[in-house]
Amino acid sequence: MLSTSWIFWALLSAGFAALTALCAKIGVSSIDSDLATFIRTLVILGVLGIMLLATGKFHATGGFSQRACLFLLLSGLATGASWLCYFRALKLGDAARVAPLDKLSVVFVAVLGVTVLGEHLSLKGWLGILCIGLGAILVSLG
């Protein structure tokens, strides 16, 4: 089933990320990039709050541990920092060049996944990561 496929959700995420870049570039054209990030965060909080209320997931607290909370806190801090930097980059540069360079995160995740999490990539996987990295750099410089 398509809705249970990680590929489906990853491609949907990529589509929404593309819309994010375009809408954010237009949105930051007339306001401060930090204020734009704040407004975006409020929208996300509101939408997620409504979704959690509607689905009754505010009560699904099983699996909470100090370790899980710590890493979710760190993830939230990293997300906030990423968004602030991304919106600042969009304010200063072209969306068509900023977004591909931002996608170097794919390369960083692959390297960290292997070195920190002990994950494995095949030679074909590493070649793909190399192509993503080179492609992001070439598009951003072009």
- Percent of residues, the chain, with pLDDT higher than 70: 97
| pLDDT(60) > 70 | no
- Residue 95: partners with Cβ closer than 8 Å, 6 or more residues away: 21, 22, 24, 25
Question: In this predicted model, which residue has the larger pLDDT, 9 or 116?
Answer: 116
* DSSP symbol at 117: T
| Stronger pLDDT, 109 or 5, i.e. the higher one | 109
CA 46 – CA 93 distance, rounded (Å): 29
Q: What's the chain's length in residues?
A: 142
pTM over 0.85: no
Token pair 């996300």 is found at 44
DSSP three-state, residue 42:
helix
Instruction: Mention every residue, 6+ apart, whose C-beta is less than 8 A from residue 88.
Output: 33, 34
* pLDDT tier, 23 (very low <50, low <70, confident <90, very high otherwise): very high
Chain segment 86-134, per-residue pLDDT in tens = 999 999 999 999 999 999 999 999 999 999 999 999 999 999 999 999 9
Range of lowest pLDDT (29-33, 55-59, 117-121, 134-138): 55-59
Q: Does the pLDDT at position 25 exceed 80? A: yes
Distance between CA atoms of residues 126 and 12, nearest Å: 24
What letter does residue 76 receive in the DSSP assignment?
A: H
Tokens at residue 121, please? 């990539």
8 Å CB contact between 91 and 24: no
Q: Assign 47 a pLDDT band (cuts: 50, 70, 90).
A: very high
Average pLDDT of every residue of the chain: 92
